Chains A and B, each alone.
Chain A
Amino acid sequence: MSLIHTSRIKSPWILHFDNSSCNGCDIEVLACLTPLYDVERFGMVNMGNPKHADVLLITGPVNYRTARVLRNLYDQVPGPKMVIAVGTCASSGGVFHNCYNVLGGVDKVVPVDVYIPGCAARPEAIIDGVVLALQKLAGANL
């Protein structure tokens, strides 16, 4: 259905979850919402609720505690959903990858669609990443 299709691309609602990051990437995500970058013009709205979200923006490396929480949240997001790992820590564990409590990147727990490297990832990169995810969403369902 191309109407629903177009709407999915034009209205990605975001759930931002911070695993155990240093908050650097989180601040950059927050910056995206500010008037300077203004992601709302793409229809992106930050919902605090997994049941309302389409896109999961995940920051920080996964540790044993947050693995469970992340999996729970991922399960509660209704499909179709996209998972975006923001920052180097979320992609692969970053500088923390061999800490005793860190499992690694987000893809150890949930399937990731887009990786956005950077420490911290710049807002432009984050927006780029979300657009890439949406294209993937569009391409996948065609």
Chain B
Amino acid sequence: MIDGMMAIAILLPVAAGLVTFFVRDYFARNVIVIVTAFSLIANSIMLAAKGPFTYTPSGFDWGILITILDYAILFFYVYLGISLRNWLVVTFAVTQIIPLAYFEFVMKAHVEVAPAFVVDNLAIVMTLIISIIGSLICIYALRYMHDHEHHAHLEKSRQSRFLLWLVLFLGAMNGLVFANNMLWLYFFWEVTTLCCFMLISHDRTEIAIKNAARALWMNATGGTAFILAIIYLYATQGGSQALSMQNIIGGTLQGSVLLLPVALLCYTGCTKAAQMPFQSWLLGAMVAPTPVSALLHSSTMVKAGVYLVLRLAPAYAGTYLSTAITIVGAFSFLGASALAISQTTGKRVLAYSTIANLGLIIACAGINTPLSIAAAILLIIFHAISKGMLFLCAGTIEHQIWSREIEDMEGLAAKAPLTTLITAVGILSMFLPPFGMLLGKWIALEASYTVPLAAVLFVLGSTLTIVFWTKWLGRLLQVLPKVGRPFEKLSLSYSFPLLTLLVGIFVVGIGIAPIYQSFISAATNNVIAGTQVLASGWNILTSGGAESGSFLGYFPVWTLYIVFAIALVLPLFLIGLKPTEMRPVYLCGEQVGGADTDDFSAEADIRTKVTLGGYYFQSAFGEATLNPVVNTVAIILLVSMIACGVILR
């Protein structure tokens, strides 16, 4: 039973990916992917229902296979680096090969870790996210890639190759969140990096390959740190037992020499999560097709980075390292939010917002109180849903107006009302009450005072997020006076994932209190003991006030949703407008035409169209201004973080 579920979770996507690579027929491929998708979703729900367990696969020496594949991937990177003339890629592949070989042949390390997989509540939460949201994105990718290649007039379809890596990736992610054996975790980590490279460079344009290479070498520095951490653990903590994640976080190892490898692993997590100063790889990855951005670069792969940092939280609790991690995350939150304001491309705004929210999650992990860990997990869940949906919306918009620029999205509410509606709900769900992201941010702010500098950074970052989201939503909604717009037709492959995720935002958001109590609370306890988030009926209470038993704060979930429904949903349906009531916008009386005109008579009575643009504040928040400052500070903070690994409190 468990064998089957684990095989479906990890091996089925790999097999399905390989099969789709060889199938050339569009419909057959779709069927395979859809079947895989639904199997994964069903499987993850069954895993959730089953509850926590441990598992070691038997009957085959998986360890040898993994080692061989490790070397294969790393040598492939070397080959890539040489063929692309990218010496950074070669360097950081070699810096992984040498320590790995040293570990294998000089130290003659014999690693036996049991159990190999530990599926606890946190892993179950992660696999639900990966399986459900990941599968929906794969379904979306089916039609999207078809239209993408149509528009690019490709003679030879490369969708099989795309789907291979996209679906295979899901298996690697599942393996990553289940892995207890650090070497196996390292393997799955490298597979995700490989998928990332393959998918970013899919379009084979010069800029795509360049950005993919950048993603590769930056993640490879993380891989190097991973290997060094493994070697250090093995050497100083007495062998294989140090390479079990449960032992690392369980407090059975010697604390005094534990912090340096843990710091290195947190560095790895930060590179994967594109924290500052590594944000450029995620920004560069936005040239990839949208399903890649949705799956890898918002809901899933980058979550692996924060998952690692969160998982290791017990290992660095109460040390200076914890505070350093908090500041690294909080600073990324602020920096990325500031940079997002100046971005004119929708996907880049989403990318910066992702980096910011990942920084917030890492900071919560660093704060290391039951309240903040609960916030981190809630943020992971809600961010995955909302941001995944927003990226899919961005892709849908792109395929309707064939542009990614926000300025071209002006007035989208008139051209594509359904897409705009879904995008609008997605944007609102990222930063406003009553939605789950705000609930997570609320808990994070309540927990932040433990590290007061983080509280200040959260406050500033939070303010800046309001600016860029509202600006974008405003551009979408800017319509001319006209009554009634029919909803546009969307292909099922687009609308099914979008609507499912939309419903998911509301279902998980409204039901967050019972959902929290049923298994998220247990997931929090996998990381830290005690609980400060209480569910009172459908509302959320936070405890831990000055006196025992007193409350910190109160978030009335269902009341806020009712207010939201009355405020926004009801008027939309109840208010009817008649055409005679429409009036033109105020253009000083110079408008030409009927009520739905945007022409006016300019000088010499020339009929001109009104053009409006958004504010992007390039001089204050532009990349040219901020990048030097932000990158410098971020490097200093990261170096301090690793340095804290050698200081014990």
Same complex origin of A and B: yes
Q: In the complex, are the beta carbons of A73 and B583 less than 8 A apart?
A: no
Cβ-neighbour of B586 out of A51, A65, A68 (below 8 A): A51
Task: Give chain B residues whose Cβ lies under 8 Å from the Cβ of A68.
Answer: 589, 601
Task: Give chain B residues whose Cβ lies under 8 Å from the Cβ of A65.
Answer: 605
Cβ-neighbour of A69 out of B583, B584, B588 (below 8 A): B588
Indicate with 1 or 0, residue by residue over A24-62, a CB within 8 angstroms of chain B CB atoms: 000000000000000000000000011100000000000
Q: In the complex, are the beta carbons of B586 and A49 less than 8 A apart?
A: yes
Does B590 reach chain A (CB closer than 8 Å)?
Answer: yes
Per the 8 Å Cβ criterion, residues 65-123 of A in contact with B are 65, 68-70, 72-73, 75-76
State the Cβ distance, B358 to closest chain A Cβ, in Å: 45
Task: Give chain B residues whose Cβ lies under 8 Å from the Cβ of A51.
Answer: 583, 586
State the Cβ distance, B275 to closest chain A Cβ, in Å: 48
Q: In the complex, are the beta carbons of A76 and B586 less than 8 A apart?
A: yes
Does B591 reach chain A (CB closer than 8 Å)?
Answer: yes
Chain B interface, DSSP helix/strand/loop, else mixed? loop
Task: Give chain A residues whose Cβ lies under 8 Å from the Cβ of B601.
Answer: 68
Q: In the complex, are the beta carbons of B583 and A76 less than 8 A apart?
A: yes
Task: Give chain A residues whose Cβ lies under 8 Å from the Cβ of B583.
Answer: 51, 75-76
State the Cβ distance, A77 to closest chain B Cβ, in Å: 9
State the Cβ distance, A113 to closest chain B Cβ, in Å: 20
CA distance A73 to B584 in the complex (A): 10
CA distance A39 to B588 in the complex (A): 25
Per the 8 Å Cβ criterion, residues 578-609 of B in contact with A are 583-584, 586, 588-591, 601, 605
State the Cβ distance, A110 to closest chain B Cβ, in Å: 12
CA distance A70 to B588 in the complex (A): 10
Task: Give chain B residues whose Cβ lies under 8 Å from the Cβ of A50.
Answer: 586, 589
CA distance A76 to B584 in the complex (A): 7
State the Cβ distance, A19 to closest chain B Cβ, in Å: 11
State the Cβ distance, A16 to closest chain B Cβ, in Å: 13
State the Cβ distance, A133 to closest chain B Cβ, in Å: 21
CA distance A70 to B589 in the complex (A): 7
Task: Give chain A residues whose Cβ lies under 8 Å from the Cβ of B586.
Answer: 49-51, 76
User: Which one of B584, B586, B589 has the greatest number of beta carbons of chain A within 10 Å?
Assistant: B589
State the Cβ distance, B596 to closest chain A Cβ, in Å: 14
Q: Which residue of B lies closest to A76 (CB)?
A: B583
Task: Give chain B residues whose Cβ lies under 8 Å from the Cβ of A69.
Answer: 588-590
Q: Which residue of B lies closest to A52 (CB)?
A: B586
State the Cβ distance, B480 to closest chain A Cβ, in Å: 15
CA distance A76 to B583 in the complex (A): 6
State the Cβ distance, B353 to closest chain A Cβ, in Å: 36
Q: Provide a sorted-by-A list of 22 A–B residue pairs whose CB atoms are within 8 angstroms.
A: A17-B589, A49-B586, A50-B586, A50-B589, A51-B583, A51-B586, A65-B605, A68-B589, A68-B601, A69-B588, A69-B589, A69-B590, A70-B589, A72-B584, A72-B589, A72-B590, A72-B591, A73-B589, A75-B583, A76-B583, A76-B584, A76-B586
Which residues does B use to contact A, with CB under 8 Å?
583-584, 586, 588-591, 601, 605
Which residues does A use to contact B, with CB under 8 Å?
17, 49-51, 65, 68-70, 72-73, 75-76
Closest 8 pairs (CB-CB, A-B)? A69-B589, A72-B589, A73-B589, A76-B583, A72-B591, A49-B586, A69-B590, A51-B586
A70-B589, A76-B584 known, 11 other contacts, Cβ within 8 Å:
A17-B589, A49-B586, A50-B589, A68-B589, A68-B601, A69-B589, A69-B590, A72-B590, A72-B591, A73-B589, A75-B583
